[in-house]
Amino acid sequence: MTLSTSNVDMERAQREQRERRMPGDAGRPLSQSRGVMRTARIVSTVLVALWFALPFLPLVLWSFANSWSAPDVLPMSVGTDGLTAAIANGAVAAFGDSLLLSLIVAAIATPVGAMAARALSRHGLPFGRLVSVLLFSPVLLPPFAAVLGINVVLLRAWVPPEIGVILVLVVVAIPYTTFSMLVAYAAYDDGFDEAARTLGATSRFALWRIHLPLIAPALARSAFLAFLVGWSDYLVTLVVGGGQLVTLPLIIASSASGIGNESSVAVLSLSAVIPPLILLGLVSRARNLNPGRQS
């Protein structure tokens, strides 16, 4: 009898699974556009896609153009001169430095942001509002003024420039990691941790086997944002780094200020664009395992 109940249960579960569609899901009457609106939707999608993609076309063409002058629509000769020039300019080392810097910033800012968000998402944090204002203040300050001011402090404190860059960039990244983790924790069910503990798991075991796997997708998104802060920074690396740290954006800027090296600038720009795109692909592939708060 119980067996047949289970089968009925299973069929019901499968049916519910099929029918579990949200009101805004594609294919629902309310989300389907018709007639003129349908045309407008397709046209606007194509326009936005072009807006995002078109700038990359000349970039790709320039990367492989050995020579390309005004009246010609396409490069006159194709080759790897740009790549050679970029490498000669120190692109490989700069790429490595950029990668290392961004990874370090992400590795520090992500756990700090996650812990801050965890604390803020729980009620009863003393001075919670003040803490969140402080955490988000780096986003509000005008970067140039702040960086110049901080640089004086760092110089006086004899902080090595590389450490200084990391310190400042981590502070810049923390609001982003904190905010993205706050969103994740708002949907996180503490019951999972409680269930784990009542089943005999120590806090460490519950953290590694339950908590972290459940928030992993959010951590990946958060780390991606922190990575971008390090990867795209120019100002902090230039001012605080004082030339000690030469990252990709610095090389791009110096190359772009010269004349006649368009193709090497294009190669550098592409190499700056590709890693975040790969990361974005990886992050969006991360399966969201946490079903959120169960009702």
Partner 1 sequence: MTSETMSGESASPESMTSAITLTAVTKTYSAASPAALQGVNLDILPGTSTAIVGPSGSGKSTILRIIAGLEDANGGRVRLAGRDVTTLLPEDRGIAMVFQRPLLFPHLTVLDNVAFADRAAGLSRAQARKRARKHLELVHMAEFGGRSPHSLSGGQQQRVAVARALAAKPSVLLLDEPFSALDSGLKGDMHAMIAEIREAVNPTILFVTHDRDEASAMAERIVVLENGQLLQHDTVDHVFHRPASLAVARLLGGKNAFEGTIENGVHHSGLGAVAIDADVEPGPATLVFRHEAVTSTLRQPTSGTDAAALATRHADAAACQRSGPRALHGIVTATVQRGPRREVIVRVADAEVHTEAAPGRPLAVGDLVTVSLPCEALWAVPRQ
Using CB under 8 A, list all residues that contact partner 1.
Answer: 2-3, 5-6, 9-10, 12-14, 16-17, 189, 191-192, 194-203, 205, 209-210, 213-214, 289-291, 294-295
CB of 208 to partner 1, least distance (A): 11
**Looking at beta carbons only, is 18 or 34 nearer to partner 1?**
18
**Looking at beta carbons only, is 58 or 191 nearer to partner 1?**
191
Tokens of 41: 């939707």
**Looking at beta carbons only, is 25 or 72 nearer to partner 1?**
25
CB of 271 to partner 1, least distance (A): 36
| Spatial distance between the Cα atoms of 164 and 147, rounded to a whole number of angstroms | 11
CB of 111 to partner 1, least distance (A): 20
The conformation of residue 66, written as its DSSP 8-state character, comes to E
Tokens of 121: 């998402």
Contact (CB, 8 A) for 276 and 228: yes
The conformation of residue 25, written as its DSSP 8-state character, comes to S
**Looking at beta carbons only, is 136 or 205 nearer to partner 1?**
205
CB of 7 to partner 1, least distance (A): 10
Nearest CA-CA partner of 230 in 110, 79, 127, 52: 110
**Looking at beta carbons only, is 8 or 76 nearer to partner 1?**
8
CB of 125 to partner 1, least distance (A): 15
Tokens of 30: 């309310």
Nearest CA-CA partner of 149 in 176, 172, 168: 168
> Strand runs (DSSP E) across 28-148, as ranges?
65-67, 77-78
